[in-house]
């Protein structure tokens, strides 16, 4: 379970907001209130003309207004705000890890993890968000494993930035192992725990058609896309991969089919890439239905560290990111399905290693 203590503050502010909405104050009484209580009484309208901000708070409001105007300047015939500053959301986040080793087009290994599931409840005010996350596998009695995940994303009109981290040990299955087939003729589904994987990725990219296209409408639910529009994107990405796979504990009848003599594989490298791609928002019904698809391949420089299997110190890097979402809005309510795929390639002598993290999130929420 994950918890950020600022949730307590937000709950207090929400309660205060409800009290003030039920007991509005007149202008004379409003002018005598401390500025924090004025902000609450103004329903958190930071630009309410009657709020007597101190110098630093006024500076923060001015910076926010400058940033909002600079980074969220949209063509209102294509993109508009929702008119709400608060969002409360419930989220189901489900992900797996995949690892494949290709020795030839017909001779390859495939390992996939069990499904990892997390449940979360989040609340946000403008750009600030906090909440709880639970391990759904443990709650519902599913198979658990040692794992961690962290996701942070910031999206504005001009650009998007994100950091994703995951770490898992064991909890995988071998679904293809060269020419090996189980004796009973069934599909291979061998439980395999001698694997560890740690992945860190960060990226930032710019939207060329930022006045007509809104990534926030598809993924953050803070805008409405009124007309279909797309944009080219360009940016940079950083990836750190640390993966260990040990086949030595497999049954001897399986090891006979291992395409190479090595039984222990290690991959430890960093990628520094330029990414470029395209995203498109299809508006099926303004303010109601929205579909997004985004594809971001990247190429660059790969630096591998000592102990990496069959690798050179300096290598070519080629990775890919694919995102998609379906969003439904009904007045202040919204629901979405968001899919993400992140794939990383490693070109060694004699084989190619490809690891990936596909995920899908189910989100419901309300704006207020």
* Distance in angstroms (rounded) separating the CA atoms of residues 338 and 12: 31
Does the pLDDT value for residue 144 go beyond 70? no
Where exactly are the structural domains of the chain? 6-71, 86-367
Give me the chain's average pLDDT, please: 86
CA distance 197 to 366: 36
Mean of the pLDDT values across residues 68-92?
Answer: 89
Nearest Cα residue to 14 out of 42, 48, 40, 47: 40
Q: How confident is the model at residue 4 (pLDDT cuts 50, 70, 90)?
A: very low
Residue found under tokens 């609340």: 123
The correct answer on CATH 3.40.1350 for the domain covering 86-367 is: no
| Whole-number pLDDT of residue 6 | 43
Q: How confident is the model at residue 45 (pLDDT cuts 50, 70, 90)?
A: confident
pLDDT value, residue 70: 77
pTM of structure: 0.82
User: In sequence order, what are the beta bridge partners of 87?
Assistant: 124, 367
Q: Is the pLDDT of residue 11 over 70?
A: no
Residues facing residue 185 across a β-bridge = none
């Amino acid at each position: 379970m994950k918890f950020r203590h600022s949730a307590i503050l937000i709950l207090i502010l929400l309660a205060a907001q409800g009290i003030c909405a039920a007991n509005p104050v007149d202008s004379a009484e409003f002018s005598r209130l401390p500025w924090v209580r004025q902000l609450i009484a103004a329903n958190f309208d930071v630009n309410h003309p009657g709020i007597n901000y101190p110098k630093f708070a006024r500076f923060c409001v001015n910076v926010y207004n400058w940033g909002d105007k600079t980074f969220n300047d949209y063509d209102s015939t294509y993109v508009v705000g929702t008119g709400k500053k608060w969002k409360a959301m419930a989220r189901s986040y489900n992900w797996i890890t995949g690892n494949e080793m290709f020795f030839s087009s017909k001779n390859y290994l495939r390992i996939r993890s069990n499904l990892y599931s997390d449940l979360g409840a989040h609340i946000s005010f403008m750009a600030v968000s906090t909440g709880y996350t639970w391990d759904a596998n443990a709650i519902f009695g599913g198979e658990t494993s040692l794992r961690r995940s962290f996701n942070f994303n910031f999206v504005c009109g001009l650009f998007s930035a994100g950091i994703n981290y995951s770490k898992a040990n064991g909890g995988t299955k071998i679904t293809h192992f060269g020419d090996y087939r189980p004796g009973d003729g069934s599909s291979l589904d061998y439980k395999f725990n001698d694997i560890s994987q740690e992945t860190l990725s960060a990226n930032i990219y710019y939207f060329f058609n930022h006045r007509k296209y809104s990534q926030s409408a598809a993924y953050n639910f803070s805008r409405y896309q009124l007309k279909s529009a797309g944009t080219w994107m360009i940016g940079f990405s950083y990836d750190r991969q640390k993966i260990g796979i040990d086949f030595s504990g497999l049954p001897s009848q399986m090891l006979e089919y291992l395409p190479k003599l090595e039984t222990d594989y290690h991959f430890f490298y960093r990628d520094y890439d330029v990414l470029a791609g395209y995203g498109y928002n299809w508006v099926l019904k303004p303010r109601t239905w929205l579909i997004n698809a985004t594809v971001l391949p990247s190429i660059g420089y790969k630096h591998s560290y000592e102990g990496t299997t069959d690798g050179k110190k300096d290598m070519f890097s080629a990775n890919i990111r694919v995102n998609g979402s379906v969003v439904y809005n009904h007045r202040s309510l919204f629901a979405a399905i968001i899919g993400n795929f992140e794939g990383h390639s490693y070109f060694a002598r004699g084989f190619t290693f490809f690891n990936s993290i596909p995920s899908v999130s189910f989100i419901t929420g309300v704006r207020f």
